[in-house]
Structure 1
Amino acid sequence: MSEAPSAPGAAQNGREQGAGTGGKVLYGALDLGTNNCRLLIAAPAGRGFRVVDAYSRIVRLGEGLSQTGRLSDAAMDRALAALKVSAEKVRRRGVTRFKAIATQACRSAQNGAEFVERVAAETGLRLEVISPKEEAHLSVAGCLNLLDRTADTALVVDVGGGSTELSWVDLSGQARAARLTPGRPPVRAWRSIPLGVVTLAEQFPEGADAPEVWFRRMVEAFRSRLEGFTGADSVRPAFDTGRAHIIGTSGAITSLAGLHLNLPRYDRNRVDGIWMTRAECEASANRLIGMTMAERAAQPCIGPDRADLVLAGAAILQAVQELWPCERVRVADRGLREGILLSMMAARQRRRPRGRGGRTTHG
């Protein structure tokens, strides 16, 4: 993964400063997806980081893309508004190491490159449209410390707005004994499916069928795109013998967890890292199937912005569980932004000389 040398508007005199962080270098990561624009600004702290600022806005950049093949003017305007807020935060905080990525919507849209140029001209942000493979690896890097090292395999499922990335992570043998680092996650196999919560929901509009039938159609649509994949067959025995688990990262999956916990309002500290059984995931999905759109919107961990998308995410998770069955699912309220930050910090530590007998540590 390439690392941008500096943030937009950052000082170019070679000095690295962090506003309000005791002189520490500040890192920034921005993820512009099909549904969300997310920014995270952080300072290194031990083997991880301390969050200094964060921003997230649902922009639905990929709205209508599956029908037209293009990003709409309204969607681009929404995304640009969020990107301008993000750029201002980056400048105000004095971020000096920064990376901004764009994923499936910009990869697949006919006018994706044109939009990226417009973003640079209007905000100063240089978006890098990353490949599905890099997206999958960054998702794993962001979730490394949620992996159960007593298992032999983990399947990281990153459900996006326009695509879903699946990564089978090797945790057995030498990989178990080694230290896992963001720059070199032990990914045995990966697969990108060009279906996410936005594209799946648009393909199967709600109300055309009975709720149970509609949900099942979404499950089958995703299954049909995944079931022929044989690249991870070498780790299937771990799933067959209960030595594997799933990590699910997406707003839809964290919403399922919040519903499962009956939270009065969303609480990341309660959700991130929680273990759910397969039966509990299905029970939360069944609760949602029995609700109207308005009832889902009234749920504190869903809200109106996700009310029409959360069941598409639940359908994707169920399809994965049917094809790669395991009893344990760990919910991750983290993903690409954290993967970018940790990868940049680890790369910088590897490049730093060890002079004066000091030791380097990875972020």
Structure 2
Amino acid sequence: MDGDTTTEPDWGPFGRPLFDDASARALARVGVVDIGSNSVRLVVFNGAARSPAYFYNEKIMCALGAGMAETGRLNPEGRERALAALKRFRLLARGMELPPLTVVATAAMRDAEDGPEFRKQLESETGLKIHVIDGEEEARLSAQGVLLGWPGSYGLVCDIGGSSMELAEIHGGRVGKRMTSALGPLKFKDLEGGKKAREKYIRQTMAPLAQHMGAQRDRLFLVGGSWRAIARIDMERRGYPLHVLHEYRMDADAVRETVAFIEAADLDSLRHACGLSSSRMALVPYASEVLSQLIETFQPKDIAISSYGIREGLLFEQMPQELRDRDPLIEACRFAEKKDARMPGFGRTLYHFVLPLFPDAQPAQMRLMRAACLLHDVSWRAHPDYRAEVCFDYATRANLGGLKHHERIWLGLALLHRYRNKRHGTRFEELYDLLPPEAQTEAEVLGKAMRFGAMLWSVDAGQKNARLDWHPAQRRLRLNLSEELAPLYGEVTQARFKSLASALGSDNFDLQIEG
């Protein structure tokens, strides 16, 4: 199929249910196009249904909403660029053999006088069906995108585009109150009276949002390109070493300092330093004024950047509750193991094998341990000299949902030690300090335990014929092997066992053969 519309029953934006089978784990390629006020983007999802990977991602800055505040109409040049983008995306969809593209349009298309006419033109010239959604629906879908990455999360989702800003409350995995506003930078950046006039406009527009949404003192989730650009600038200001925007955290003080930093900076030099486009950077000063008032109004406990928004929300919309309730990190790791590991399924055995080394592990740490064991062998095709670095890169920079930054480093270190005894002397050392020393040691222990456990591939978890015993008080480590598997304890296995004991701070380790 080539992305054209079909005669299938109308199931909503997707035109068909994606997840009829609640147990589905694999997601066939599906494409979503978001026609925003500032950009038009195609994203093609693939992989684990609960935590999809980005098979293809292309954004074209069209600025459809530029000048609308004065004319009430879409930017003529933006119309041409958006039409060209959709024609290109339709052909790309055909080449990828995608099912019909899902195309949604937001503030610019719904507010412009010529929006309905342009929609008809797009549909006529591309054969695609365009779904123009209202502001509250946009808020709901953006919030559901956040829930894709943070199941069961709570707080306030704020999605800023070029021509609008949406708010939605989430609690316990559900979307609650929601509201849209005209706080997109394209709507007010050219107000007469300069900064004072803009600040007055923002305050007046924010007031009914606060009245409707009520007190929101939990986490603030920021969705949208302008927010991500501000977060990237915050990283630059702080010298923060991990340039992954999803789950990046700020607080109110950091926002204030970064807004002042932006006001004092040479914007052209700053955008080059941060890798931002000129069209995105042009909106950042105005978005930062909105963010300042947003923080002052709602006073959130903390602030998290979400790379997931309306496009991911469309996928979440199609998921049955059973699939929504799954852990996105574990589902992604299971998918990776099945696709890339030499012995899919061994990760579960390995997890149970290493678990006795962590008798006091809490659920959050056990979750990371499970993820590490599932991923322990997915990079085996890399050159042996680089496997450790490939593993660390994968964990810290890959599109894995449900991971805080310090958890990425912990997982990365564990996988690095799966293939390398020492973590010093790598190009990643500036990232290690995002973890306290005791957490670095825990990750090392897990990594060396996985490195050792991988020598026991023939172990069947059901038979329990290989077992680790660890007694922290006595610092005593023992490997229990059945007589049948005793030959597995060769020279390399012994060396790795010794390395594991050393990581545990033990020189009291031995092998017990069980008849």
Bin of the TM-score, shorter chain as denominator length: 0.7 to 0.9
State the AA in 2 paired with 1:253. Answer: W
Distance 1:8 1:203, change over 3 A: farther
Verify: 1:224 aligned to 2:210, yes or no. Answer: no
Secondary structure of 2:101's counterpart equals: strand
Q: Distance in 1 between matches of 2:60 and 2:34?
A: 11
Verify: 1:304 aligned to 2:278, yes or no. Answer: yes
Q: Distance in 2 between matches of 1:137 and 1:291?
A: 35
User: Deviations 1:289-308 (Å, cap 9, x if unpaired)?
Assistant: 11244334434343312222
Distance 1:348 1:71, change over 3 A: farther
Please state how far the C-alpha of 1:310 moved relative to its aligned partner: 0.6
State the AA in 1 paired with 2:176. Answer: R
Please state how far the C-alpha of 1:315 moved relative to its aligned partner: 1.4
Distance 1:46 1:298, change over 3 A: closer
Moved more, 304-313 or 58-67: 304-313
Q: 172, 184, 187: which one pairs with 1:199?
A: 187
State the AA in 1 paired with 2:155. Answer: A
Would the aligned equivalents of 2:36 and 2:106 in 1 still touch at CA under 8 Å?
Answer: yes
Q: 14, 24, 29: which one pairs with 2:32?
A: 29
Q: Distance in 1 between matches of 2:322 and 2:131?
A: 19
Identical columns (%): 24
Please state how far the C-alpha of 1:331 moved relative to its aligned partner: 0.7
User: Deviations 1:57-113 (Å, cap 9, x if unpaired)?
Assistant: 111011111101111321200111222222122221111153110011111111101
Compute the RMSD of aligned alpha carbons: 3.2
Q: Distance in 2 between matches of 1:307 and 1:329?
A: 21
Decide which structure has the larger Cα Rg and report it.
2
Alignment-derived partner of residue 48 in structure 1: 51
Alignment-derived partner of residue 451 in structure 2: none
Q: Distance in 1 between matches of 2:45 and 2:314?
A: 11
User: Deviations 1:116-168 (Å, cap 9, x if unpaired)?
Assistant: 1111122222111101111001101111155485x7x4110000111000012
Q: Structure 1, unaligned stretches of length 5 or more? A: 17-22, 181-185, 351-362
Secondary structure of 1:227's counterpart equals: helix
Alignment-derived partner of residue 129 in structure 2: 126
Would the aligned equivalents of 1:44 and 1:345 in 2 still touch at CA under 8 Å?
Answer: no
Q: Distance in 1 between matches of 2:44 and 2:77?
A: 28
TM-score where L is the length of structure 2: 0.55
Secondary structure of 1:271's counterpart equals: coil
Alignment of 1:1-363 (within 5 A): 7-8=3-4, 25-96=28-99, 98-147=101-150, 153-170=154-171, 175=172, 180=173, 186-203=174-191, 209=194, 214=195, 217-229=197-209, 230-233=211-214, 236=215, 239=217, 244-262=218-236, 270-346=244-320
Q: Distance in 1 between matches of 2:141 and 2:241?
A: 24
Q: Distance in 1 between matches of 2:149 and 2:322?
A: 23
Distance 1:272 1:53, change over 3 A: same
Distance 1:220 1:301, change over 3 A: farther
Would the aligned equivalents of 1:42 and 1:49 in 2 still touch at CA under 8 Å?
Answer: yes
Moved more, 309-318 or 42-51: 42-51
Distance 1:297 1:79, change over 3 A: same
Q: Structure 2, unaligned stretches of length 5 or more? A: 9-16, 18-25, 325-400, 402-515
Alignment-derived partner of residue 358 in structure 1: none
User: Deviations 1:3-35 (Å, cap 9, x if unpaired)?
Assistant: xx98317899xxx9xxxxxx9632111110000
Give the structure, 1 or 2, with the largest relative contact order (CA under 8 Å, sep 6 or more). 1
Would the aligned equivalents of 2:191 and 2:197 in 1 still touch at CA under 8 Å?
Answer: no
Distance 1:296 1:201, change over 3 A: farther
Secondary structure of 2:98's counterpart equals: coil
User: Deviations 1:259-312 (Å, cap 9, x if unpaired)?
Assistant: 121299x99961111111111112111111112443344343433122220111
Would the aligned equivalents of 2:27 and 2:48 in 1 still touch at CA under 8 Å?
Answer: no
Q: Distance in 2 between matches of 1:197 and 1:290?
A: 19
User: Deviations 1:189-224 (Å, cap 9, x if unpaired)?
Assistant: 1110022022222336xxx75xxxx2x543432221
The answer to which structure has the higher helix fraction is 2
State the AA in 2 paired with 1:272. Answer: H
Q: Distance in 2 between matches of 1:347 and 1:116?
A: 33
